[in-house]
Amino acid sequence: MPIFTANYPAAVPGKITLLPTPERVSARTDYTGKGVNIAFIDSGFYPHPDLGKRIITHVDASDSRIIEGSRFDKPAPYSWHGQMTSVIAAGNGQINSGRYRGIASEASLILIKVMTSEYQLKEVDILRGLRWILGNLTRYKIDIVNLSVGGDFVSNDPEHPIHRAIQDLNNAGVVVVAAAGNRGQDHVFPPASSPEAITVGGFNDHNTLDRTQWTGFHNNWGTDYQGNAKPDVIAPSIWIASPILPDTEVDREARWLGPLLQKPTQNILKNLVKRGRTEFMKRRFELQHPDEDVYVAMQEKIHAHKLINAHYQHVDGTSVAAPIVTSVIAQILQANPALSPENIREIITRTATVLPQIESHKQGAGVISPTGAVQVALAYRERENKNA
């Protein structure tokens, strides 16, 4: 029997050993973002089962004719990125017995698609999504905006339309979270260059809780237009579980390749290989008696798709780190809804921990501490109640 393995650190044949996000950052399980509304601006979305019935609305803002409540139940290539960010933040892990749930697994979502029909996502498209949010804050009671998207050019202009829109959101009491970018460059783009945005970089925890093994990630860094250092904090940005987009080539192949990671018997292995014969274009006889070349090709596909099991794959980037911070902020707001965006920034950065093995300008205040942040939020609430 061949042994198939996943390609994340500390993978063990026959077992799923990829750490869930809440465990990676030691997040509390009694705060799940319940009662908090998060808006995601992204390329596109899919109503994945892990999001349940918590999607308040889907908005197609891909052009000037914005459509609220638009259908999005047919997966498209642009759907994958937004599915990833929303589920990492707020999925309940339903299709995997809850193992790969997000930290804000009971938050409600407003999903705003901004990729154009030409498959472009430019600053003007991000701005269109931000302006829709500004016009609908009260109606949808939006608390947090997640921006795992980046602009086109570096800007130090305080009057840049994206900078102004984020400032307006901040003034309205909305927390904005932005990904720092993945180019490893010493500058950040709008929206990450907004002083009001909580800009998130990343780190590599190598799928272990041993902090001495954690290393940096190739996130961007720099300053906002006021000269403040960015990113503000860092979060896990690699080896993160995310659902596979349904009805795609990866999904079809994962359904028979995924079970190979769970110690299949010889008969199960043969049946699985037969199911995959169209992908390998082998003769039926060869698949009934698979050789080493077939097994090698199967292992290569498992690694190429970054498979964890039949339904999840691991993903990376500050686009991943940002929704993790967003989900922690949802916990904070559940613990203390009265906190302002300035309060939350102060809590997030004050409770973060610097990693000595990462250069200071690339990590800001350091690694987020969900448990510490919630504790401070609760302490603020208790103090407010005493002074009331």
Residue with tokens 């990676």: 24
Domains, the chain, with CATH or none:
30-241+314-387 (3.40.50.200), 249-310 (no CATH)
Tokens of 297: 């090709």
Residue with tokens 């990113």: 231
Report the pLDDT value the prediction gives residue 185, as an integer from 0 to 100. 94
CA distance 54 to 83: 14
The region that residue 119 occupies, defined by phi over 0 for left and psi between -120 and 50 for alpha, beta otherwise, is: left
CA distance 285 to 317: 42
List helix spans (H) across the chain: 21-24, 79-90, 123-135, 137-140, 161-171, 249-257, 266-275, 277-280, 284-288, 292-304, 318-335, 341-351, 370-387
Q: Cα dihedral angle (222, 225, 227, 232), rounded to 10 degrees?
A: -50
Residues whose CB is less than 8 angstroms from the CB of residue 191 and which lie 6 or more positions away in sequence, other chains included: 126, 130, 147, 149, 150, 151, 162, 163, 166, 176, 178, 197
Q: Are strands 312-315 and 240-243 parallel, antiparallel or unpaired?
A: antiparallel
Report the pLDDT value the prediction gives residue 285, as an integer from 0 to 100. 42
Low-confidence ranges of the chain (pLDDT < 50): 281-285
CA distance 68 to 120: 20
Cα 116 to its chain centre, rounded Å, is 21
HSE-CB for 38 with a 13 A CA cutoff? 38
Task: Determine contact, residues 355/223, Cβ cutoff 8 Å.
Answer: no
CA distance 179 to 181: 6
Q: Are strands 312-315 and 215-216 parallel, antiparallel or unpaired?
A: unpaired
* 131-189 tens-digit pLDDT: 999 999 999 999 999 999 999 899 999 999 999 999 999 999 999 999 999 999 999 99
Give the DSSP letter string of 176-232.
EEEE--SS--S---TTTT-TTSEEEEEEE-TT-S-GGG-EE-----EE-TTS-EE-S
Cα 316 to its chain centre, rounded Å, is 9
* 128-144 tens-digit pLDDT: 999 999 999 999 999 99
CA distance 22 to 236: 11
Tokens of 73: 């139940």
Report the pLDDT value the prediction gives residue 297, as an integer from 0 to 100. 82
